[in-house]
Amino acid sequence: MQTSIFGLGYVGTVTMACLARDGHQVVGVDVNKDKVAALAAGSSPIAEPGLSDLLARAAQQGSMRATTRVREAVAASEISLVSVGTPSRANGEPDLSFVERVCHEIGEAVREKGASHTIVIRSTVPPGTTARCETILRDESGSSGVHLAFNPEFLREGSAILDYDDPPYTLIGTEDRVAEANVRELYASVAAPVLVVEPAVAELVKYVANAWHAAKIVFANEIGRIAKQSGVDGREVMDIITQDAKLNVSPAYMRPGFAYGGSCLPKDVRGLLFQAQHHHVPVPLLAALPVSNTQQIDAAVAAVLARRPRRVAVLGLAFKTNTDDLRESPAVALVKRLIGEGCEVAIYAPDVDESRIIGTNLSYIREHLPHFEALMVDQVDSLLNWGDVIVVTSADGGFRKALADRLQDRVIVDLGGLFPPTARIPDPDYFGIAW
Supply the residues annotated as catalytic.
264
Longest dimension (CA), the chain: 81
DSSP sequence for 277-317: HHTT---HHHHHHHHHHHHHHHHHHHHHHTT--SEEEEE--
Residue 81 and residue 15: Cα distance in Å, rounded?
Answer: 9
How many CA atoms does the CB half-sphere of 320 hold within 13 Å?
9
Find out whether 133 and 119 touch, Cβ atoms under 8 Å.
yes
Q: Evaluate whether 82 touches 125 at the Cβ level (below 8 Å).
A: no
- The amino acid occupying position 435 is W
Q: Which residues contact 265 (CB under 8 A, 6 or more apart)?
A: none
The Cα–Cα gap between 93 and 1 comes to 35
Element (H, E) at 347: strand 344-348
The alpha carbon of 110 is separated from its chain's Cα centroid by a whole number of angstroms, namely 33
Helical axes 284-305 vs 265-278, angle rounded to 10°: 140
List the one residue out of 117, 8, 9 whose CA is nearest residue 67.
8
* Class of residue 134 by CB neighbours under 10 A (exposed 0-12, middle 13-18, buried 19+): buried
Rounded to an integer, what distance in angstroms lies between the CA atom of residue 302 and that of residue 112? 54
Residue 76 · residue 5 · CB < 8 Å: no
Whether the CB-CB separation of 398 and 416 falls below 8 Å is answered with no
For 413, the 3-state DSSP assignment is: strand
Where helices occur in 46-119 by DSSP H, the ranges are: 51-61, 70-75, 97-113
